[in-house]
Amino acid sequence: MTKLRALIVDDEPLARERLRSLLPADEVEVVGECGSGTDAIVALKQSGIDLVFLDVQMPGCDGLAVLDKVPAAQRPAVVFVTAYEKYALDAFNVQAVDYLLKPFDRDRLKQALGRVQEHLRARRADKLEEKLASLLAEAPTSAKKPDRLAVKADGKVIFLKPDDIAWVEAADNYVMIHHTGGQLMLRETMAAIEEKLGTERFARVNRSALVHLDQIKELQPTFHGDYIVFLKDGTKLPLSRSLRGQLDKLTGERLG
């Protein structure tokens, strides 16, 4: 595990010393200490800091004012350290990772460090996903769909081959990808997934289901003139009348 590079900001020297003593040396490297908000602003604009332990009440420039002077994109993970509960909502509004109330013990600090690690993993995954999306967006429009689909789940970027995906179903603000390795739930829209996978190998069969054409085993008519799509894995999906045209390329003729 890579050590977290931390900055401690508190106007009380004893408070800084106590926090430093509680931090596990094998997980955290304290790269600096600041006794005022103005010094913290300068330090936070430097690169290489993963985490800041930030006191809220400090003379001259408090912790919230410090963050206001540092662009969100440049901020490290923020853990507020204070003796007052009343600033919790403010901490939430500036997207702090945790809020430590003095006095806290080693176990509570360890819990906060776990949240920081999770936050940083998610941030790295977001940046990687944005970079991949940017690279794909810069590709010529005539280019084929990528041979691998990059998706973010559980703080990781996972690569899937489109041909390993049997079908995708909508689930509120999420989609569930059914693939050869199991299932994968993403916070994504069906329209976005459909755009990424393209229409060469995939087709919408209804508002909530997108299927790989090679995974369709058969179409069965019902008594009411509708159709049921049977997939090779045994899944049964209703075929929307408004979307039948998408399967014309599979059957070679228009469905009734």
Global pTM value = 0.53
Provide the pLDDT for residue 179. Answer: 92
| Pairing label, strands 209-212, 98-101 | unpaired
For the chain, domains (ranges, CATH) are 4-125 (3.40.50.2300), 149-251 (2.40.50.1020)
Residue matched to tokens 């997934």: 193
Q: Which residues of the chain have pLDDT under 70?
A: 1, 126, 128-146, 223-225, 242-256
3-class DSSP state of 129: helix
One-letter amino acid at 247 equals L
Residue type, 14: L
- pLDDT of res. 29: 93
Per-residue confidence (pLDDT) for residue 34, from 0 to 100:
93
**Measured between alpha carbons, how far is 165 from 186 in angstroms, rounded to an integer?**
14
CA distance 75 to 86: 23
Output the pLDDT for position 133.
Answer: 59
What's the pLDDT score for residue 143? 42
pLDDT digits (tens, 9 = 90+) for 156-188: 788 889 999 999 999 888 899 999 988 888 888
Residue 250: what pLDDT?
54
Strand ranges of the sheet holding 227-231, from the earlier edge strand across to the other edge: 216-221, 227-231, 236-239
Q: Which of 252, 191, 255, 198 is nearest to 229 (CA)?
A: 255
Strands (E), the chain: 4-9, 28-34, 51-55, 77-82, 98-101, 149-153, 156-160, 165-171, 174-179, 182-186, 202-206, 209-212, 216-221, 227-231, 236-239
Q: Work out the end-to-end distance of the chain between its first and last CA atoms, rounded to an integer number of angstroms.
A: 60
Q: Which two tokens stand for residue 111?
A: 């819990």
